Amino acid sequence: MAPYDPTAQNVAERLSAPKFSHPMGTDNFGRDVFSRVLVGAQEVFLLGGAGTVFAAIIGTCLGLLAGYVGRLWDEAIMRILDVLLAFPALLLAMVLLATVGPSYLNLVLVIAVLYTPMFARVARSMVLDLRTREFVDAANLRGEHRSYILFREILPNAVPPLLVEASIRFAYSIFLVASLGFLGLGVQPPSPDWGRQVNEARTFFDSAPWMLLFPAGAVALLVISTSLMADGLRHVFSPPGASRRR
């Protein structure tokens, strides 16, 4: 969908204001801002989405194990995850990326590490409620294996709150990817990262404000839209009358 190569430079049209051929103008290298915003959206979705999916898978498995087995496993898993929760997300991400270096894979892994504890806590709380239900007792009486009970009996009933949590964490991951790009720890040039575009446009705000406003607006629009989607999912999966009681 991008009309131009997002990395192609055209010095003759540098800092060109928005017009028909360049709906969002051009930057200080003559690159089309509209094309860079579009391609940057693809990277934000892939990085944030992949990191959220990995966090959901790992966190859900840990939460199921901790909540169902309990005792030493519960204490060990949840205390380790509490250590991760004790650090601010952006600070911990900066430390990890400064250690392993910025790359696509490392960004996905960092997002997964940061948000795994949230999924684990949600999954554990659901297991603590569901493991005493009659259908779980029936599975135990049939002699079903523990993995069957966790993934065939308990997990399907825990999916709705996990979906809500995933949509919330996806919004946070988008903002995290943009923040790391702004700080220079995200996707490296010449990739059109939204956060890096905002950082590069700061010095040209007086003469070319479109360089900053459009990528910053794209970040804000996507985060707000994802947050609204999470709120909608929460209302859909809430028990009847829950919204009224709140």
Tell me which H or E stretch contains 232.
Answer: helix 210-237
Residues near 124 by beta carbon (within 8 Å), at least 6 away in sequence: 63, 64, 66, 67, 74, 78
Asked whether the beta carbons of 122 and 162 are under 8 A apart, the reply is yes
Distance of CA 206 to the CA centre of its chain: 32
Domains of the chain: 23-245 (1.10.3720.10)
Burial letters for 44-77: b for 16+ Cβ neighbours within 10 Å, e otherwise?
beebbbbbbbbbbebbbbbbbbbbbeeeeebeeb
pLDDT digits (tens, 9 = 90+) for 12-52: 888 888 888 888 988 888 898 999 999 988 888 899 999 99
pLDDT in the model for residue 52: 94
DSSP string for residues in 106-162:
HHHHHHHHHHHHHHHHHHHHHHHHHTTSHHHHHHHHTT--HHHIIIIIIHHHHHHHH
- CA-CA distance, 100 to 5, in Å (whole number)? 30
Residue 245 pLDDT grade (very low, low, confident, very high; cuts 50, 70, 90): very low
pLDDT at 241 over 80: no
User: How far is the C-alpha of 195 from the C-alpha of 23, rounded, in Å?
Assistant: 20
Per residue in 44-85, pLDDT tens?
A: 889 999 999 999 999 999 999 988 887 888 889 999 999 988
